[in-house]
Amino acid sequence: MTADLVKRTARAKVNLTLHVTGQRADGYHLLDSLVCFADVGDIVKAERADALSLSVDGPLAEGVPTDDRNLVLQAARLFGSTQGAQINLSKHLPHAAGIGGGSADAAATLLALAELWDMPLPEDVVSLGADVPVCLSPMALRMRGVGDALSVIPILPELPAVLVNPGVGVETPPVFQALTQKANAPMGEIPEFADVQSFAVWCSDQRNDLQEPAIRIAPIIQQVLDTLEPALMARMSGSGATCFGLCESQSAADALASDIRTQHPDWWVVATSFS
């Protein structure tokens, strides 16, 4: 029996590391990244309907398109189905923020419609974006190639964290264009970790190769990183402008998030945990 309404959470994707290791002849960049997912996200609801449509609401809906520019509709059309669906996207994540909001929304839409329409997932999901394949399996993974080579890693310890976005959208292409060195060293092997402290030490020795070019484009990112300084470690996620800080406990994350909200009430700040 098929469902008439399917709901999926599009969890925020966080690049704990992001090593740019090269660029293919077709322009796609090669990555080596440790990806995890926060326990916050957008909500996708898909309901049976005669035609395909998209509505957007939620606290961060402003400026989010409801036409074919939105990856949600692009994901729906990838099925090539004649069936309809009324899709609602409730936005709780900032967009153009480096936490895979659009890709997570697309992945959640693919999973929701596959169930609603009783169809297999389309094969060419990477055509929607390099982050879509990893968002189909929201768990900590190592992502290589152009985002299509995924591998399981040792189970991570509990990672209490704070996510901060200063309300500045950073488009990905200009950040990659500003990257002067594109053939960088990949990550080494990912070991097992006893706790968040040992993970933070290891993670501090890794990189996000897009952080410095993103700061040149949006200097406020450095201010966000400075504000996260009480954390065990802080880094930008993806191509920015969202940054994360790993904390020693969930209570420490809650306290840091509260302090940052007091200092910057116009920023998007959430205490969360990664898995």
Regarding whether 118 and 189 lie in a shared domain, the answer is no
Catalytic residue among 42, 105, 131, 209: 131
Q: Are residues 168 and 239 in the same domain?
A: yes
Domain endpoint, select from 109, 124, 145 = 145
Q: Which two tokens stand for residue 33?
A: 């990244």
Q: Do residues 93 and 130 share a domain?
A: yes
pLDDT tens for 57-105 read 999 999 999 999 999 999 999 999 999 999 999 999 998 899 999 999 9
Residue 249 sits in the same domain as residue 212: yes
Domain identity same for 209 and 249 = yes
Are 193 and 262 in contact, with CB atoms under 8 Å apart?
A: no
Q: Are residues 117 and 158 in the same domain?
A: no
Domain ends where: 145, 163, 187? 145
**Catalytic residue from among 13, 32, 45, 209:** 13
71 and 124 co-located in one domain: yes
Count CB atoms within 10 A of the CB of residue 5: 13
Summarize pLDDT for 182-207 with one digit per residue, the tens.
999 999 999 999 999 999 999 999 99
User: Among residues 78, 110, 145, which one ends one of the domains?
Assistant: 145
Q: How far apart are CA 196 and CA 190, in angstroms?
A: 14
Residue 161 and residue 121 share a domain = no
**What's this model's pTM, rounded to 2 decimal places?**
0.94
Domain total of the chain? 2
Report the pLDDT value the prediction gives residue 28, as an integer from 0 to 100: 87
Q: Are 65 and 72 in contact (CB under 8 A)?
A: no
Question: From residue 224, how far is each of 16, 79, 166 by CA, in Å?
Answer: 16, 40, 7
Claim to verify: residue 160 and residue 134 sit in the same structural domain: no
Domain containing residue 124: CATH number: 3.30.230.10
User: Does 32 qualify as catalytic in the annotation?
Assistant: no
One domain for residues 79 and 136? yes
d(CA 123, CA 117): 16
What domain range includes position 232? 154-274
Verify whether residue 131 is a known catalytic residue.
yes
CATH number at residue 167: 3.30.70.890
